[in-house]
Structure 1
Amino acid sequence: MANDKVYRVGLVGFRGRGRGLANFWNAVPNAKLVALADDVKEHCDEAKELFPGLQTFNSHKEMLDNADIDILTVGTRPKYRPPIVKDGAETESVKAIYVEKPIANSLDQATAMIEQCKKTNTVFTVGNQRRWCPAWAKVRNSIKEGFIGRPTNGYAFWATSRVGSNGTHFFDAINFVLDSTPVEAIAKLDNQVDLTKMDDSPLTQGIKEDPGGLGVVTYDNDVRISYEFMPDTTNDYTFIFCGTKGRIEFNNDFSYLEYRARDEDSRSFRGNAKMTTRNFEVPETTDEIMVSNGYKEMIHCIETGAKSSSSGEIGRQALELIVAFHLSSEAGTTPINLPLAKSAHSKTLNIT
């Protein structure tokens, strides 16, 4: 017999990313956004116009106590997330929690959130949406199937700096594509805002707390990825994965993609057969497709007991690499081994 339950969803935070998280629930047929907590009345009023019948509350605790929700969605800034997750996990009706990335501002905070959800058997999902992206999955599977031979190295570039709020996206995406774990990070961060080189905006000013930089990460499969996200760079986001047989290059929305390869794998420094451009098509990708796929997977986890493909542990791993970049830069671009020593777990960042 089909499960005709409609899951009641509550959201904390209706500004910026929170608005998107609210709208993406419309693409999930067996769930409905029924409650919102936000301490700004204008945000609540706007949400009620967009979502008829929505209950609104001044605090997440008030919502948890009164709205009888099944799923808690957290769209606040990282520093506010730990107590919201704790209270959500302790609420009897809440079966799953979805938090925006990065998971928190410190590894100790992330660990506590993970343990709280385990204690109450609450599904805990971190919004690393590229794990639910059909196009990124196609790249991952193609590399696993040998399209570029043995992976050796790569490159990732993004604009607007912010090793924390942007890095969390792409550190995790590359962990996912390589199906591998970082073992060493070397980085130099830069939080200087030079308005002769960039426009003034809230994003630009955020670089003072969440810097840009350069770095190299080595993974446990010996692949090396170079990262570039300096404050004065504004070109399209770019990702390149290279191997002994070919390479795949694409931008963030896959409107540009090039796959070049040769027929035979080669380990020779000279005399290699030239690579030629090959056909490589990817499925459509949008933010709504990615996030709604994550929501649907979370409901599947509730109903079957399956583990989330973007669990709290996955979110913590991306945060650990962000912390490692800070530690390496603070130590004069010193290589940092991962996993990090326990002494680094309390280091608290200010990711906006």
Structure 2
Amino acid sequence: MIVVSEEKLRNLAFRLLCALGIPTEDASVGADVLLASDLRGVDSHGVARLQLYYRRLRKDLINRTPTLKVIQDSGSAVVLDADNGLGICTAPRAMKLCIERAKEHGIASVATRNTNHFGIAGYYALMATEENMIGLVAANTTPFMAPFGGSERLLGTNPIAIGVPGEQFPIVLDMATSIVAVGKLQIAIRKQERIPLGWLLDKEGKPTDNPKALWEGGSLLPMAGPKGYGLAVMVDLLAALLAGAAVGRDIGDLMIDDRPERIGHFMLAMDVGRFQDVERFKEAVDAYIAMIKRSRPAEGVNEIFLPGEIEILKAKERKEKGIPLNPVVAQNLLEFARTLGIASGFDTFEDLIK
């Protein structure tokens, strides 16, 4: 592993996004989203995602300079068209608008159509918690999952995140509705590892431990069987149909690079202060955290964690010790930098991040 400081990794992400033609302000926002993922230990959605964005931007499948258009505005509910912009740059603006409207109305929602992959959903839920709000975020994605009982890929991993502010730390649920995110398979491929049986079916519908099977016509399984399937359906209804975004076969495949994704994002913010005193609520959240953590652990378990707590601890560790990068990811970033003219053919990755 190559270990990179938080500052150097963010700077590299910023430089690469700028070199890809993303305006400076948007590149700065996008770099923050990617860095947050790597800090929290969600390595599949951090700077490793630049490989995917690089390919799609080079093929002009993403609009580098989008104009967010208001399609409908009723005050507490807004529909936006992201103009096929890069999701990690447009989604923070949508969530910022959602929070602003929630400050005005108490509760607000923003649905976005014609957009693209936005990184980790938890980033946007945390934006709400930082403003003493509860945030709920969902996005539909490229179909990699068959309906429960089916064999045809029609549903995405369709992530959901919910963030609740606390005094000690925010509680943040950030999960794919598939049993595992696509990025976990990509990590396994980079590490040349097999995956557990039960994650993936091959193109014949049989369980496989080969992560490459997904790109050979296989399909992910929903988490918790029919429950995960049901959640994935609800994300499609909220993030896609409500926003007027693409769904199912109409989504541009994120990996094939054939056409724009045109997916949807759904964001909801609730001002805690409209329900009760914020400090009293945070104290109640902390008491709830204490109740869970002081409860008797199961055999073989040393500590019980709240949703998002492990990521908070990981971020603290990586801020202090640096962020580990897989050598394959580092090499990919170096190749992008060379192609984009910000590194000579003789540079090493270590030279690139100096």
Q: TM-score, with normalisation over the residues of structure 1? A: 0.26
Relative to total residues, which structure has the larger strand share, 1 or 2? 1
Relative to total residues, which structure has the larger helix share, 1 or 2? 2
Q: TM-score, with normalisation over the residues of structure 2? A: 0.26
Larger radius of gyration: 1
